[in-house]
Structure 1
Amino acid sequence: MNPTVKEFKYVDYLWDNKKAEALKDDQVALFLYRSNILGADLRITNYGGGNTSCKTIEKDPLTNEEVEVMWIKGSGGDIGTLTRSGIAGLYTERLRNLKDVYGGLEDEDRMVGLFNHCIYDLDSRAPSIDTPLHGLLPFAHIDHLHPDALIAVAAAEDSEKVTKEIWGDTMGWVPWQRPGFDLGLQLEKCLAENPGIRGIVLGSHGLFTWADNSYDCYINSLEVIEMASEYIEKKIAEKGSVFGGQKIESLAKQERLDKAAELMPLLRGLCSSENRMIGHFTDADVVLEFINSNDLARLAPMGTSCPDHFLRTKIQPLVLTLNANEDLSDSAAVLAKLEPAFEAYRNEYQAYYDTCKKANSPAVRDANPVIIIYPGVGMFSFAKNKQTTRVASEFYVNAINVMRGAEAITSYTSLPRQEAFDIEYWLLEEAKLSRMPKEKPLSRKVAFVTGAGGGIGKAIADKLAEEGANVFLTDIAEDRLKEAVATYPADTAAYAVCDVTDSNSVVEAYKAASLEFGGVDIIVHSAGLAISKPLVETTDADWDILQKVLVKGQFELAKQAVGVLRKQNLGGDFISIASKNGLVAGPNNVAYGTSKAAQQHMARLLAAELGPEKIRVNTVNPDGVIVGSKIWEGAWAEGRAKAYGIKVEELPAHYAKRNLMNEIIYPADIANGVFALVAILDKSTGNIINVDGGMANAFVR
């Protein structure tokens, strides 16, 4: 098979003949390849959306007979990142035999449990609710996708008529129905009544396409989506505008970002009234076109149409009434305007739940909005972690595209509220949520770490990220920051170059962290340097740089952090990485030891002032962190070795011998001290934790 490269305008053709040829003897691998390249284009399907499958002939381990097996994306997976561990393998015949025991719509939940009796591959992921939709169709390769253009057709008024207009008799159409076994029967029936069709449009839902090999299935999907996209763009061109035209103008790019960064912590605090949330912001052109339009007020309350959309975005967004040019510097005044809007949203969501709930419905979930629209500025989203909130934002962009297309075709229709509720509070969906892994201790928190380009700062960021936090790294060296951020999984870390001695630089770094994650919860001042000289050799420049980086830097970080933390009203943690040298008098150390002592006492002063606001301030005192610490590179190590009359390479052993436990102290040990303060000792403030192996002369009491 050596297919010719196809030309598409509205979707990405990503099929690589060489890669496909290498997989030709493994149809499951080829199906996974097809799935991944389909999922790579967000216009075709978003993260976690849609489903793909293939059917192969395998040897039954119990009978040695050849049987047909269907391989399909498992529950909760994502086709863009799908691997063998994320699929289920089922006996196709057994799955089809379930028709003999299906008891109708009231039997849907029981049927999902019966899928497990059809398992062929014992390493299968739990089969998804879409399993019968694929299994009851006869084709070897099937794609179930949620392309914006197709959902626009599916969500348009007169969707069935529009389907006929675009594809003639080559596509079937099935009205909206909640996914499940009966929808599989409806697809089977549609095919039987329309033999020879290339696919089916699911009303208010998405697309099914198929073929007898993986490449032809891929091309079929792309061609069907391309035809819908061309049709929509032609309709838009005929109308001359979308969403009723522009109502307001956007602010300039930098003004939008400044507004968003200023507002983010306030929004985060309000969205976190039940559970702490992480934020995301976008001002993409497609978003601005929608949120600045005349039709925003009509379309936004209608809610989304595709189940995959509103499961992640809630049924509708909160649209702020703030003016784009409004002064946001008075946080109390802005909060007074925002609070009634949030309260009204929560009340409306509770009314939606109360009106639609059934006797066995799960308890009402967090009533705060996920999507927040600020006309003229952009769109915010808030969810439990960065990936989830970014994906929610992407899904609402999909929803905007759907509304754009549907409005161009005829007019947009959303799911009835009861149908939406039945999906959102489906017991099977609740069961899926209950299977989610337990959240890590620092999940939903944002840690801002200075000096994080390497050494102790990077070790601290690593530990906090490992325990679930999003980490925002700062340093004066961008090359080190880029290398450091690249070591974390996606949606975990971001960075800004920051000189802690420069107030404006600190302000800009907090703005960047707020824009990236919604705000901050944990601030760790780890930026530092060390100078070891006798008194008479210590210069004014030595003294000044230590005071500026260690002491003034801590002051600036704390001062600017409090502004963000107070907007959020969620409390917080400030950790100073000081030193044993702030407590112990030693030779050749007057400038460094004095600055470290200032850090320690400043932390106590801040703890006393900020404690009533649940902002805890504590100190970690390292000692002798030689291995892996950037401070110990160069002159400082030479100075300490000279003070002790030993060689530089003897320093680690020297420092280990002088502590009570005879332990070498590593950056990771300091990171563990920070973690203990922010995750375990949650009623501790104004304290010092010594991480030094036990230095009796550094005991605090």
Structure 2
Amino acid sequence: MTGHHEAQAAVDGLLKRSHRLGADPRNTNYAGGNTSAKATALDPVTGEGVELMWVKGSGGDLGTLTADGLAALRLDRLRALTGVYPGVDREDDMAAAFEYCLHGKGGAAPSIDTAMHGLVDAAHVDHLHPDSGIALACAADGEKLTAECFGEQVVWVPWRRPGFQLGLDIAAVKEANPRAVGCVLGGHGITAWGATSEECEANSLHIIRTAEVFLAERGRPEPFGPVLEGYEPLGTAERRERAAALAPYVRAVASADRPQVGHFDDSDTVLDFLSRAEHGRLAALGTSCPDHFLRTKVRPLVLDVPPSAPREEVIARLKELHTGYREEYRAYYERHAEAGSPAMRGADPAIVLIPGVGMFSFGKDKQTARVAGEFYVNAINVMRGAESVSAYAPIEEREKFRIEYWELEEAKLRRMPEPKPLATRTALVTGAGSGIGRAIAHRLVAAGACVVVADLDAAKAASVAEELGGPDKAVAVTVDVTDEEQIAAAFREALLAFGGVDLVVNNAGISISKPLLETSARDWDLQHDVMARGSFLVSREAARVMTAQGLGGDIVYIASKNAVFAGPNNIAYSATKADQAHQVRLLAAELGEHGIRVNGVNPDGVVRGSGIFASGWGAQRAAVYGVEEEKLGEFYAQRTLLKREVLPEHVANAVFALTGGDLTHTTGLHIPVDAGVAAAFLR
């Protein structure tokens, strides 16, 4: 096999192995662990063979790894670093040296685990974070249990922070134990190796599955203790209603330093843990695996009142616990920070546990929040395994601090792109299944927001949510804005999906275009129910959530040129638009003290893509103006000062300008988006 073919085969095999391992959460957590392969490739300069190693780069995920996510390094240069290694006190210096070992251009940045893969004398190496392996790694007598579980096949390696020295340690373990197929890393995870990719994968799975069987057969029942009386999970409907009611206050707790997006989990794993007598003691010990507490913080905030407690009592206790949590976290930072330590990043919890209800997890976006929750579920599984055969004994607090405030992690954070303007904000857009609402949803997601796509048409709402990227970006809710309970339910879904609501766009509407004498009372009532009453109900619910969060917010009304312009045969529609326009002024005056800004947009002539025009309004207006329906957009454009047709995207841009642009001190404003209609100038 030529060098080129050998290299390509090695990379292809590595990616397939990584995908198989990463597809099963029992093997490793999201973005956790790394895999590598070594092979000979042709040096394009000399034309001779050169030994290379391909290893998953920093920040990648095994399940979705691509060739671009691999770092390719020359083994001769990587292994030569042992000659200049300055010792464990300066091992962080070695991370920069990996850059000088890279082969060719492109690829990912080498991760801190690169030395582990390069220094171990095996063609293929897997480093993984399986719950079963970490359970042994975090057991008080983990070394003894590892020997009982595996004999000479798997060797115990005492805790050491990931880095160059750990790579040397594992290389020495492999050399000293020729019968071993891998090792358990104290407080961390597992590493396995093999002469072929298939052998390496088999060894990894052998370690993981053997540990699972060992824990199942040796483990005692109820490792978290008996059920605490009064802490049993609430029923599904009551539990989710309680979670939504508490969500704004929980988000306030997680967002005191900076706004966060939330994720809710009421899985059986979480609820069972929180119902047990030992959950408080174990949660206080914190997580252990470095991947865990980098995302979950050193420990969660645990609400210590039963689920039957009155909501007001729960909220008051939550605030008390938050004050204590912040004080304890600052003390933790000050106990361990040194002159060169990065500044404290914030003292709010990333995980909030509510017995009987579930877990809220938080992050800079929905995916980060969701993954933080997944990692805490991993931590629960680890605690269960360790407690079932021994006692859960995570690494000591100082080592956790060294990981959490590691300069290499800080450098990784500095390399991340600047957040988008609406990052951490959740928007609820009514009438978002088509036309202007759909365009607004797309614009807000593009600016970094999470969006709740609310529409009367469930299929259209679901389609738009899918267009926007699925549940980490958008969720669909079916809502009739004339129905108070449906509106409340839509906000509950928003709170459970993203932890809060920061931005509401009142866009839902219908249009009844008739002369005065042909407009029935039913027409009038329906028009006002959908737009005037509907906007009022949505804004009222939004204000409840936003004031509870204490993070301010935005409410935007999509009104109309017709709110200020008197046109023919349009009494019901124009009157209700005028109602909406004045709601903007009234709510801006009332909600300003809470930091909630209320503004409006007055579009005109938005024909293309409009659900309203497609439903018959277009034909009616075309008849009024004596033009063909398909030319109505052109007609509207020609009567404007700019002679330009207004599209849904132009309205969406105005919404963004009000909420994500520079108009931070503007409230009570209406922005015309009509290409210039002098008769509708605001005076």
TM-score by length of structure 2 reads 0.97
Q: Name the residue aligned to 1:342.
A: 322
The AA in structure 2 aligned to 1:49 is G
User: Shift of residue 25 of structure 1?
Assistant: 6.2
1:473 aligns with 2:453: yes
d(CA) in 1 for partners of 2:223 and 2:648?
56
Q: Name the residue aligned to 1:685.
A: 667
Structure 2: which 5+ runs fail to align? none
Structure 1: which 5+ runs fail to align? 1-21
1:698 aligns with 2:680: yes
Q: Name the residue aligned to 1:16.
A: none
1:444–1:468 Cα contact (<8 Å) kept: yes
Q: Name the residue aligned to 1:111.
A: 94
Q: Name the residue aligned to 2:386.
A: 406
User: Shift of residue 296 of structure 1?
Assistant: 1.1
SS at match of 1:439: coil
Matches within 5 A, 1:381-392: 381-392=361-372
User: Shift of residue 217 of structure 1?
Assistant: 2.1
Q: Name the residue aligned to 1:94.
A: 77
2:7–2:39 Cα contact (<8 Å) kept: no
User: Shift of residue 23 of structure 1?
Assistant: 12
SS at match of 2:467: coil
User: Shift of residue 37 of structure 1?
Assistant: 2.2
Q: Name the residue aligned to 2:622.
A: 641
User: Shift of residue 269 of structure 1?
Assistant: 1.3
Q: Name the residue aligned to 1:432.
A: 412
User: Shift of residue 335 of structure 1?
Assistant: 3.6
d(CA) in 2 for partners of 1:124 and 1:107?
27
Aligned to 2:268, which of 277, 281, 285? 285
Aligned to 1:160, which of 140, 143, 149? 143
1:291–1:373 Cα contact (<8 Å) kept: yes
Q: Name the residue aligned to 1:129.
A: 112
User: Shift of residue 24 of structure 1?
Assistant: 11
1:24–1:30 Cα contact (<8 Å) kept: no
d(CA) in 2 for partners of 1:432 and 1:267?
28
Q: Name the residue aligned to 2:502.
A: 521
1:326 aligns with 2:306: no
1:452-501 deviations in Å (ceiling 9; x for gaps): 11111111011001000010111111111111111122411112111100
1:455 aligns with 2:455: no
d(CA) in 1 for partners of 2:648 and 2:336?
54
1:362 aligns with 2:342: yes
1:179 aligns with 2:159: no
Q: Name the residue aligned to 2:491.
A: 510
The AA in structure 2 aligned to 1:469 is A
User: Shift of residue 26 of structure 1?
Assistant: 2.7
Aligned to 1:79, which of 45, 50, 62? 62
User: Shift of residue 284 of structure 1?
Assistant: 0.8
d(CA) in 2 for partners of 1:176 and 1:334?
39
d(CA) in 1 for partners of 2:36 and 2:136?
24
d(CA) in 1 for partners of 2:664 and 2:215?
55
d(CA) in 2 for partners of 1:402 and 1:336?
32
1:281–1:516 Cα contact (<8 Å) kept: yes
1:561-597 deviations in Å (ceiling 9; x for gaps): 1111111011111100011111111111111111111
SS at match of 1:157: coil
Aligned to 1:656, which of 628, 637, 641? 637
1:481-533 deviations in Å (ceiling 9; x for gaps): 11111112241111211110000110111111111111100000111111211
1:396-440 deviations in Å (ceiling 9; x for gaps): 100110010011111110110111101111111110011111000
d(CA) in 2 for partners of 1:597 and 1:101?
76
d(CA) in 1 for partners of 2:647 and 2:55?
47
d(CA) in 2 for partners of 1:196 and 1:67?
29
Q: Name the residue aligned to 2:465.
A: 485
1:326-345 deviations in Å (ceiling 9; x for gaps): 222x4xx5443222210100
User: Shift of residue 215 of structure 1?
Assistant: 2.6
The AA in structure 2 aligned to 1:604 is R
Q: Name the residue aligned to 1:260.
A: 243
2:565–2:679 Cα contact (<8 Å) kept: yes
2:28–2:130 Cα contact (<8 Å) kept: yes
1:87-129 deviations in Å (ceiling 9; x for gaps): 1000011100100000101221211111011001311211100
The AA in structure 2 aligned to 1:414 is P
1:569 aligns with 2:540: no
d(CA) in 2 for partners of 1:553 and 1:376?
34
Deviates more, 1:529-538 or 1:187-196: 529-538
d(CA) in 2 for partners of 1:77 and 1:336?
41
1:88–1:121 Cα contact (<8 Å) kept: no
The AA in structure 2 aligned to 1:692 is D
The AA in structure 2 aligned to 1:698 is A
Q: Name the residue aligned to 2:595.
A: 614
1:579–1:596 Cα contact (<8 Å) kept: yes
2:432–2:508 Cα contact (<8 Å) kept: yes
The AA in structure 1 aligned to 2:112 is I
User: Shift of residue 220 of structure 1?
Assistant: 2.0
1:621–1:688 Cα contact (<8 Å) kept: yes
Q: Name the residue aligned to 2:377.
A: 397
Aligned to 1:208, which of 191, 194, 198? 191
User: Shift of residue 270 of structure 1?
Assistant: 2.1
The AA in structure 1 aligned to 2:354 is Y
1:117-163 deviations in Å (ceiling 9; x for gaps): 10013112111000000001122221100000000011111211111
Matches within 5 A, 1:616-631: 616-631=597-612
Q: Name the residue aligned to 1:10.
A: none
SS at match of 1:485: helix
When the two chains are superposed, the root-mean-square deviation of aligned CA atoms in Å is 1.4
d(CA) in 2 for partners of 1:327 and 1:513?
23
Q: Name the residue aligned to 2:255.
A: 272
The AA in structure 2 aligned to 1:690 is P
Q: Name the residue aligned to 1:581.
A: 562
1:23–1:29 Cα contact (<8 Å) kept: no
1:288-323 deviations in Å (ceiling 9; x for gaps): 121111111221111111111001001111111232
User: Shift of residue 635 of structure 1?
Assistant: 1.7
d(CA) in 1 for partners of 2:100 and 2:286?
38
Deviates more, 1:279-288 or 1:23-32: 23-32
2:6–2:39 Cα contact (<8 Å) kept: no
1:27 aligns with 2:10: yes
The AA in structure 2 aligned to 1:682 is T
Q: Which runs of 4+ in 1 moved over 6 A?
A: 22-25
Aligned to 1:199, which of 148, 161, 182? 182
SS at match of 2:151: helix
Matches within 5 A, 1:34-53: 34-53=17-36
d(CA) in 2 for partners of 1:24 and 1:645?
71
Q: How many residues align?
A: 675
Aligned to 1:244, which of 225, 240, 250? 225
2:248–2:545 Cα contact (<8 Å) kept: yes
1:166-200 deviations in Å (ceiling 9; x for gaps): 11111122100001111110011101110131111
d(CA) in 2 for partners of 1:246 and 1:411?
19
SS at match of 2:156: strand
d(CA) in 1 for partners of 2:259 and 2:305?
24
SS at match of 2:599: strand
d(CA) in 2 for partners of 1:545 and 1:121?
67
Q: Name the residue aligned to 1:596.
A: 577
